[in-house]
Structure 1
Amino acid sequence: MKKRHFSALVGLSAMAAMSGANAAEKVRDRPELFRNLLDCRGIADNGQRLACYDRSVGAMEDAEKKKDLVVVDRKEIRETKKSLFGFSLPKLSLFGDGDEKEEKADEVQEIESTVVSVRPSKGGDWALRLANDAGTWETGGALTVPPRVGDKVKIRKASLGSYLGSVGISRGIRFRRVE
């Protein structure tokens, strides 16, 4: 069984354990394919319940093959959030169900990477392409030492949507994500 499918089944099992009005409320908000799978739990006859699960899982698998359904696990969500660090994105429920506590725990506050390429930018700034899908960032303000390929970079969220960090031995550098 593929890792992704295993993660989905583990997630489905955990959801099956949910009970009470809160669970029923959350289930109503789920896609039809997923609700159909969860509805199979309520069938008393073992043979009918198994047939329902087989039918529902088959429909989910077909939808995934057609790319109508995408299954991701929390690790993939974290990696995607990390690769998007520095971009202003609208609030979407793609990365969570709106649980603010959970979203805060998964929020990326800082990245560490290495400079892959450097080029001069306007006004004496530098454009740095970073390793590990960390994107391209421009520095803001003059650097004491020009950045070089291989320099370590650390960028963290600062106040009012800005980003501060270091590149090589230069500290307290303003950054702006451009790609």
Structure 2
Amino acid sequence: MMSKQQSDKSLRRLIMIGGLSLTMLAPTALAQDKGLDRPQLFNDLVECQTITDSAARLACYDQKVAQLDSAQKNNELLVADRAEVQEAERGVFGLQLPRIKLFSGNDDDQQITEITLTVVSAKQMGRGKWFLILDDGATWVQTDTTMLSSYPKKGSSILIKRAAMGSFLAKVNGGRAFRIKRVVE
């Protein structure tokens, strides 16, 4: 049998694990404020805190944390922290995608508005437009006929910013800005 001191120590550990779980699920919790539903497993875990009997509360936490762990291992529940969500957003920067619930928990003021990458490959196409492959694997194409003050080449730094009406502006090595769009091959 566990002593009261051991039980309290176990409960504190479990609460700490639960707190970490809640922290990892923060994007989901933020999304709920914007009208998205939290997973039922998460709601069940939160409900454990309402149990007044310490032993019953600990048993509830043990059971619900095990269910959360199993669901995550079986890919039935996604656990992501803010940094992982932002990394995913960087990966789709420039693509015209439908709104994805996973990303809608992010505040608009934290939306990625620009990225700086390195050119892996650059080719000039017809009418002087550039075709660029960047170090994140993304492919971008110049959409205007702006003459660049610094031609892109392997190793060049490129800054891409969101512009008006879903368009993007780029600068190679800090040079003149030109319009660019991301393409999927």
Q: TM-score, normalised by structure 1?
A: 0.78
Q: Comparing both chains, which one has the higher relative contact order based on Cα–Cα distances under 8 Å and sequence gaps of 6 or more?
A: 2
Which one-letter code corresponds to 2:116 in the other structure?
E
Tell me the equivalent position of 2:108: 104
Q: Percent identity?
A: 36
Larger radius of gyration: 2
Which one-letter code corresponds to 1:11 in the other structure?
T
Tell me the equivalent position of 2:152: 147
For the residue of structure 2 that corresponds to 1:90, the secondary structure is: coil
Q: How many residues align?
A: 162
Change (3 A) 1:36 1:118: same
2:171 to 143, 153, 166: 166
Which one-letter code corresponds to 1:153 in the other structure?
I
Tell me the equivalent position of 2:8: none
For the residue of structure 2 that corresponds to 1:82, the secondary structure is: helix
CA distance in 1 between partners of 2:102 and 2:171 (Å): 31
Tell me the equivalent position of 1:55: 63
Q: Point out 4+ residue stretches in structure 1 off by more than 4 angstroms.
A: 5-8, 24-28
CA distance in 2 between partners of 1:12 and 1:76 (Å): 10
1:138 to 131, 137, 141: 141
Tell me the equivalent position of 2:78: 70
CA distance in 2 between partners of 1:67 and 1:81 (Å): 20
Tell me the equivalent position of 2:5: none
Mark the runs of 5 or more structure 2 residues left unpaired by the alignment.
1-16
CA distance in 2 between partners of 1:134 and 1:66 (Å): 29
Q: CA RMSD in A?
A: 3.0
Mark the runs of 5 or more structure 1 residues left unpaired by the alignment.
19-23
Q: 1:107-130 deviations in whole A, cap 9, x for unaligned?
A: 111111110112333443221111
Q: 1:2-44 deviations in whole A, cap 9, x for unaligned?
A: xxx8884252798xxx9xxxxx989993211111101101111
Is 1:128 aligned with 2:132?
A: yes
Contact 1:28-1:35 within 8 A present in 2 as well = no
Q: 1:79-122 deviations in whole A, cap 9, x for unaligned?
A: 1111211111212221244xxxx521221111111101123334
Is 1:32 aligned with 2:40?
A: yes
